[in-house]
Amino acid sequence: MSRVKVAVLGGSGYTAVELIKLLLRHTGAEIAAVTSRQEPGKPVSAEHPSLLARCDLPMEQFDPDALKAKGVGCAFGCLPHGLSAEVIAPLLDRGIRVVDLSADYRLKDLAVYAEWYGSPHHDTKNLTHAVYGLPELYADRIRSAKLVANPGCYPQTGILGLAPLVAEKMIDVTTVVIDSKSGVSGAGRTPKLTTHFPECNESLSAYSVGKHRHTPEIEQALSDVAGTPVSVLFTPHLIPMDRGIFSTIYATPTKPVAENDLTALYRRYYAGKPFVRVRDTLPATKDTAHTNFLDVCVRVVKGRVVVLACEDNLVRGASGVAVQNFNLMFGFDETTALM
Amino acid sequence: MSRVKVAVLGGSGYTAVELIKLLLRHTGAEIAAVTSRQEPGKPVSAEHPSLLARCDLPMEQFDPDALKAKGVGCAFGCLPHGLSAEVIAPLLDRGIRVVDLSADYRLKDLAVYAEWYGSPHHDTKNLTHAVYGLPELYADRIRSAKLVANPGCYPQTGILGLAPLVAEKMIDVTTVVIDSKSGVSGAGRTPKLTTHFPECNESLSAYSVGKHRHTPEIEQALSDVAGTPVSVLFTPHLIPMDRGIFSTIYATPTKPVAENDLTALYRRYYAGKPFVRVRDTLPATKDTAHTNFLDVCVRVVKGRVVVLACEDNLVRGASGVAVQNFNLMFGFDETTALM
Amino acid sequence: MSRVKVAVLGGSGYTAVELIKLLLRHTGAEIAAVTSRQEPGKPVSAEHPSLLARCDLPMEQFDPDALKAKGVGCAFGCLPHGLSAEVIAPLLDRGIRVVDLSADYRLKDLAVYAEWYGSPHHDTKNLTHAVYGLPELYADRIRSAKLVANPGCYPQTGILGLAPLVAEKMIDVTTVVIDSKSGVSGAGRTPKLTTHFPECNESLSAYSVGKHRHTPEIEQALSDVAGTPVSVLFTPHLIPMDRGIFSTIYATPTKPVAENDLTALYRRYYAGKPFVRVRDTLPATKDTAHTNFLDVCVRVVKGRVVVLACEDNLVRGASGVAVQNFNLMFGFDETTALM
Amino acid sequence: MSRVKVAVLGGSGYTAVELIKLLLRHTGAEIAAVTSRQEPGKPVSAEHPSLLARCDLPMEQFDPDALKAKGVGCAFGCLPHGLSAEVIAPLLDRGIRVVDLSADYRLKDLAVYAEWYGSPHHDTKNLTHAVYGLPELYADRIRSAKLVANPGCYPQTGILGLAPLVAEKMIDVTTVVIDSKSGVSGAGRTPKLTTHFPECNESLSAYSVGKHRHTPEIEQALSDVAGTPVSVLFTPHLIPMDRGIFSTIYATPTKPVAENDLTALYRRYYAGKPFVRVRDTLPATKDTAHTNFLDVCVRVVKGRVVVLACEDNLVRGASGVAVQNFNLMFGFDETTALM
């Protein structure tokens, strides 16, 4: 089978370099182009020295016709939020399918989008048919999607951590607290004081309390699973480590529950999902590092439910699940390049 | 004024070395002895190379008569939980006052102690008069105490983080979640796989979910402040950093509340308390590192209260507050050696 | 082609788990057995939670006949130094080829071995034919070897960092200083005070100055390349990071040299070697993390040569090069499972 | 005794905040002003949240007359290299003594300065009388100095690590290699890609190989001690930790030497110097963290000398030694505020 030619749009960030490494291992994909607004002509391995002798392609200006002419069948958008819409519409117009790692096409409610992102959506036409790319929930729709809105890093732990409970009406959906902790790569590659090593190393802080844009994304998916509106109190924290997200989730059950029954429920719910590991023991981010696994464990404490879910924010939280979506879209085994 | 001679009992751990460093700066204290069961005769600076040329005392076997003969007026217990009772009773019998950094004398309810520590208490006589050493709540009792049970590291963030709210009946005390994160020094100095660098570095995990012994300590103090039983759901996490505890506390208010009013309440409640800093901005453990400050900030999100409290676990969480207690007990300014 | 059945001997350490992850990606290998002296019957994924759902084999007692009966064609020794000899001889006797990751078969000179390891060698018969497994120097011998002594982590940076210079007689071989820095995983998985997180995090120290056992290994290989005895002054340091070795190498040239000429020499010397990357820019361990690459850069400062070489100590420094050796031994492409 | 009023010039960086913390403990100093070009009016505790309730002074524009009017007796320059000259001359003109933490007044040779800093010196008048502020070598001159050029962080480890050897002509001064490793705070507080957490965490790299500006500073001081020109090959490395400098120094002795004799020499040389600790055991940066100690240990390996020296780069390497200089200049005990 000939390889699918793929393009990586926006080659300078962490999700791009992680994606390129995964794609280099993919037996059914070929990286045909890497684009960059900032430094066209520069080899991607000059921007990311880890890629030397692995991917030395010069980065190029974004040009949808050139990508079409190269035979690109799928583009991965690794651009910052707000910039994706500009490049995605012209690609879709040319029949190129897209996995967009930004947040631009995740929220279906235009009012919610405007409220949290501070401006109206610029591409409502494509937003309509975009599929939220969480494979454990929406694999069928992803398979035929033209545009997949790759899910956020935090949201995946919150959504998959709670989906079995809300699907089975086990919890009071007004009581949910998601206390999340993330490694620093989640903040991106642009230097800032908050991510300057001597500021965030050996420190722990909360940020965007009550204001983080992943809140409505979590609520949208869980409400869809629940069939009723779900509200969450979501608090992100910055942790002095490169990678990893750990979410500790609290909820009040609708009736008394036993830990064993909940664990069994999780195992049934995620049966056949190769990347969700339901654990008996408490998970640790390190056991998911550099993998596409999302580990989850459920406990009952003083009558309340505590779910512990973790993942690698760059692989499972971004580039790995993007490849998982690509695999579904193009008929590859779901785990190709990801084990 | 002549200096108070003090003894440090159990010189091999992290609280001992931190305490010694603070006491070396204390204009009213003189370290007369450091004891060690394991390596008597070894200079404390051989056990802790950072102390070289600062405190080179040989560690000695515990001998209450010898300590009395040296004129020791105050002993600091830095022994593991369960061992303190053996050394404290003989010291009290000889009129030596004690600040015990272990958990042995913190819980007043013998049944609760037995439930969480797995055996009956061995020194109920002294337990009766021991004073819980949280200076912001119990300064008066501490001043005249013979035995101060120095508070735990996690509990201080939980108790001081919630005290204004429970004192003023602002929250439903059945809804409290305390999600705590601690640096690795909180686990002590004995090597274990969980604290082996390549295991816990670049990782984040929860531990003792629903089972941590600091739970009843938090509940005892908050119940005392509230005048009614308070139950908390407490979840500790291990963070890849040396020092620092950060607690994110969630509770449902009893009636609608405004963030500004809560912040004002905290400022009133902690007025005149030099080591509690009520912040408008979100705190970070690094800003409290190596200090005796406990920083706290309060937010209202979706009608619920979120309190963020942090401290240095070895200073404020253990050895610093021990010195603060010593200052109160011996009539020094509360901040001596701590600013 | 049917897969080669392989066994991993000693499943509890870091080199074992790293090796298993690489072998799971190998299209020509099948993990038939993992042995453990300590916990036979325990699933390897219970020992290493990262392996859950990837490799859940129960670990078994070492039994050479059972391994033979399973059709094992190659065994990887991940045992501590000193224990390998016991298990390797019986495997070789049964026609099973071995890649030994311990130091037991690296040193050819029995007197040197006895001097640095404190006891005479226990298996001189197999020592005679063991091949030092540094593929960039000895690929031909490795291809036909029955027993490959996998090279040490530090030595690879020293040997490959200096090989072009000593091969071409460019440096005075009595002037070599190798100042090496290693992440903590290089110290193994057994908890010790020196590798306890709060001791080694946020700290840097030298250890085994003038006494590290990798010294004679480096000298043996470089002497072989040089055709004359080479002596090195080797100083290892412990760095607060999980992975990575960085060696800064100093030597006095035998005649004036130009940086460009030396870089060109390195490029020629390593042409066709897929895992050595000669860089123009200064390298960083992170760019080699989780890969089998060894990056090297050469500079001339004040007339002296400074070589900077780095690698991932667990992949390139141990398990990755073991797979590279396996690939050569069994006729696979040298890069299989390693890109 | 009334306190000496001091000013901190340039309050936004790491040396300033470290200095302020030390000065707050100084019984003979009072912080009268903190200046900032960038954010006059902002409380210094808003810039550095760790200072809240400790030093809440508003930062002010630099105005030498205003500082004089306040009665400032000593100013500490915490400005970037190149900016100090502008502020120091007007202060000296008004009789205010200065400790300058920048590199502007360290190099005495104008040609050397111009070569390494790329422009001629702007204040040769004051350069003439500036005293290099390394108290262990130049205490007498410092006592009476109007302007002290506080020494660099790296240079102190190199100079004090080698001073006994060069003073006693024990080493060939053409053979010196200084391989130095620094925590990230040494790079300052301005965010850059190289110090962005996900770039430098879990990584180790060399930088400025052969080009670092501390090279001539080390050579100047050692040449002064030796009475003959000393040349050093200096290589700095970036280490994933907040603080700490560790220098591993190699030199060839002029005649055979014994380790014990060298250690004894170091003890004699540093007798009476309270901040240099000559250790028998290998040092670690952590044992000097947050202190003004410089620890040093000497070894002989294969006939060559290896010196290991370490310090806290922000205290001993900058702000602590600045206070030590201030103590000498104003007649305080050398250790005031530093123990």
User: Can you read off the two tokens belonging to residue A187?
Assistant: 């903040």
**Quick check: is A277 in a domain?**
yes
CB distance B200–C202 less than 8 Å? Answer: no
B193 and B269 housed in the same domain = yes
C116 and C194 housed in the same domain = no
As a whole number of angstroms, the longest Cα–Cα distance in chain C is 62
CB distance D50–B289 less than 8 Å? Answer: yes
The secondary structure of A170-226 as a DSSP string is -B-TTSEEEEEEE-GGGG-SS--GGGBHHHHTT--EE-STTT-THHHHHHHHHHHHH
C-D CB pairs within 8 A amount to 136
Categorise residue A80: left if φ over 0, alpha if ψ from -120 to 50, beta otherwise: beta
Q: Provide the 3-class DSSP secondary structure of residue B243.
A: coil
Catalytic residue IDs of D: 153
**Quick check: is C134 in a domain?**
no
Q: Which of C206, C283, C299 sits opposite D210 (nearest CB)?
A: C299
**Quick check: is D283 in a domain?**
yes
Q: D259 touching C, CB under 8 A?
A: no
A65 and A172 housed in the same domain = no
Which residue of chain C is at minimal alpha-carbon distance from D309? Answer: C205
Given this model, what pLDDT does residue C41 score? 94
Residue B223 near residue B230 (C-beta atoms within 8 A): yes
With tokens 């063991």, the residue in question is C130
**Quick check: is C123 in a domain?**
yes
Residue D265: name the closest of D297, D225, D243, D232 by CA. D297
Find the mean pLDDT for residues B309-333.
98
C160 and C305 housed in the same domain = yes
Residue A285 near residue A241 (C-beta atoms within 8 A): yes
Catalytic residue IDs of A: 153
Task: Name the amino acid, one letter, at B87.
Answer: V
Residue A301 near residue B234 (C-beta atoms within 8 A): no
Chosen from D17, D50, D279, D287 to mutate, greatest number of chain B CBs within 10 A: D50
CB distance C285–D203 less than 8 Å? Answer: yes
Neighbours of chain B (3+ CB pairs under 8 A): A, C, D
Residue C287: name the closest of D206, D211, A285, A30 by CA. D206
What are phi and psi for residue D75, nearest 5 degrees?
A: -115, 140
Surface of D (183-242) touching B: CB under 8 A? 202
Given this model, what pLDDT does residue D84 score? 84
CB distance C201–B184 less than 8 Å? Answer: yes
Percent helix / strand / coil, chain B, rounded to 5: 35, 20, 40
Given this model, what pLDDT does residue D81 score? 86
B153 is catalytic: yes
Please, which pLDDT band fits residue A1 given cuts at 50, 70 and 90? low
D290 and D169 housed in the same domain = yes
Residue D326: name the closest of D152, D153, D142 by CA. D142
D125 and D157 housed in the same domain = no
Which residue of chain D is at minimal alpha-carbon distance from A186? Answer: D198
Q: C334 touching A, CB under 8 A?
A: no
CB distance C339–A287 less than 8 Å? Answer: no
CB distance B201–C197 less than 8 Å? Answer: yes
Based on the number of CB atoms within 10 Å of its own CB, is D145 exposed (0-12), middle (13-18) or buried (19 or more)? buried
Q: Which residues of D touch B281 (CB under 8 A)?
A: 49
Q: Is the pLDDT of residue D1 over 80?
A: no
A41 and A184 housed in the same domain = no
Q: Which of A196, A202, A241 sits opposite D189 (nearest CB)?
A: A196
Q: Which residues of C touch D299 (CB under 8 A)?
A: 209-210
Q: Which residues of C touch D153 (CB under 8 A)?
A: none
Q: How far is D255 from chain C (nearest CA, A)?
A: 16
C115 and C209 housed in the same domain = no
CB distance B52–D277 less than 8 Å? Answer: yes
Mark C99-112 as b/e (b = at least 16 C-beta within 10 Å): bbbbbbbbbeeeee
Rounded CA separation C219/C204 (Å): 26
User: Can you read off the two tokens belonging to residue A287?
Assistant: 């056991």
B191 and B93 housed in the same domain = no
CB distance A241–B202 less than 8 Å? Answer: yes
Neighbours of chain D (3+ CB pairs under 8 A): A, B, C
Q: Which of D206, D241, D301 sits opposite C233 (nearest CB)?
A: D301
Given this model, what pLDDT does residue C228 score? 96
B157 and B123 housed in the same domain = no
pLDDT in tens, A173-223: 999 999 999 999 999 999 999 999 999 999 999 999 999 999 999 999 999
pLDDT in tens, A244-297: 999 999 999 999 999 999 999 999 999 999 999 999 999 999 999 999 999 999
Using CA atoms of B205, B210, B213, B218 in order, give the dihedral in degrees to the nearest 10.
Answer: 100
Q: How far is D197 from chain B (nearest CA, A)?
A: 12
Residue C167 near residue C225 (C-beta atoms within 8 A): yes
Q: D286 touching A, CB under 8 A?
A: no
D164 and D244 housed in the same domain = yes
Q: Which of C14, C184, C201 sits opposite B242 (nearest CB)?
A: C201
Surface of A (70-129) touching C: CB under 8 A? none
The CATH number for D44's domain is 3.40.50.720
Q: Which residues of B touch A215 (CB under 8 A)?
A: none
**Quick check: is A284 in a domain?**
yes
Q: D248 touching C, CB under 8 A?
A: yes
pLDDT in tens, B78-106: 999 888 888 999 999 999 999 999 999 99
Rounded CA separation B270/A107 (Å): 43
Task: Name the amino acid, one letter, at B202.
Answer: E
The CATH number for D229's domain is 3.30.360.10
Q: Which of B240, B289, B301 sits opposite A209 (nearest CB)?
A: B301
CB distance C293–A53 less than 8 Å? Answer: yes
Residue B108: name the closest of B217, B211, B214 by CA. B217
Q: How many domains does one find in chain A?
A: 2
**Quick check: is C11 in a domain?**
yes
Rounded CA separation A197/A13 (Å): 18
Residue D284: name the closest of C165, B296, A28, B48 by CA. B48
H helices of C118-182, in order, are 124-129, 135-143, 153-167
What are phi and psi for residue B215, nearest 5 degrees?
A: -60, -55
Q: How far is C256 from chain A (nearest CA, A)?
A: 30
**Quick check: is B79 in a domain?**
yes
A180 and A84 housed in the same domain = no
Q: Which of C129, C162, C196 is the last residue of a domain?
A: C129
Find the mean pLDDT for residues A9-34.
98
Rounded CA separation C203/D85 (Å): 35
Chosen from D203, D208, D307 to mutate, greatest number of chain C CBs within 10 A: D203
Cα four-point dihedral sign B13, B15, B21, B26: negative
Q: How far is A34 from chain C (nearest CA, A)?
A: 19
**Quick check: is A339 in a domain?**
no
3-state secondary structure chain D: CCCEEEEEECCCCHHHHHHHHHHHCCCCEEEEEEECCCCCCCEHHHHCHHHCCCCCCECECCCHHHHHHCCCCEEEECCCCCCHHHHHHHHHHCCCEEEECCCCCCCCCHHHHHHHHCCCCCCHHHHHHCEECCHHHHHHHHHCCCEEECCCHHHHHHHHHHHHHHHCCCECCCCEEEEEEECHHHHCCCCCHHHEHHHHCCCCEECCCCCCCHHHHHHHHHHHHHCCCCCEEEEEEECCCCCCEEEEEEECECCCCCHHHHHHHHHHHCCCCCCEEECCCCCEHHHHCCCCCEEEEEEEECCEEEEEEEECCCHHHHHHHHHHHHHHHCCCCCCCCCC
CB distance A204–B246 less than 8 Å? Answer: yes
Chosen from B50, B275, B279, B334 to mutate, greatest number of chain D CBs within 10 A: B50
Rounded CA separation B149/B325 (Å): 10
Q: What is the pLDDT along chain C (339 residues), one digit of tens a residue?
A: 589 999 999 999 999 999 999 999 999 999 999 999 888 899 999 999 999 999 999 999 999 999 999 999 999 999 998 888 889 999 999 999 999 999 999 999 999 999 998 889 989 999 999 999 999 999 999 999 999 999 999 999 999 999 999 999 999 999 999 999 999 999 999 999 999 999 999 999 999 999 999 999 999 999 999 999 999 999 999 999 999 999 999 999 999 999 999 999 999 999 999 999 999 999 999 999 999 999 999 999 999 999 999 999 999 999 999 999 999 999 999 999 999
Q: Is the pLDDT of residue A38 over 90?
A: no
Domain boundaries, position C110: 4-129
pTM, full prediction? 0.98
CB distance B196–C198 less than 8 Å? Answer: no
Q: How far is A241 from chain D (nearest CA, A)?
A: 8
Neighbours of chain A (3+ CB pairs under 8 A): B, C, D
What are phi and psi for residue A150, nearest 5 degrees?
A: -60, 140
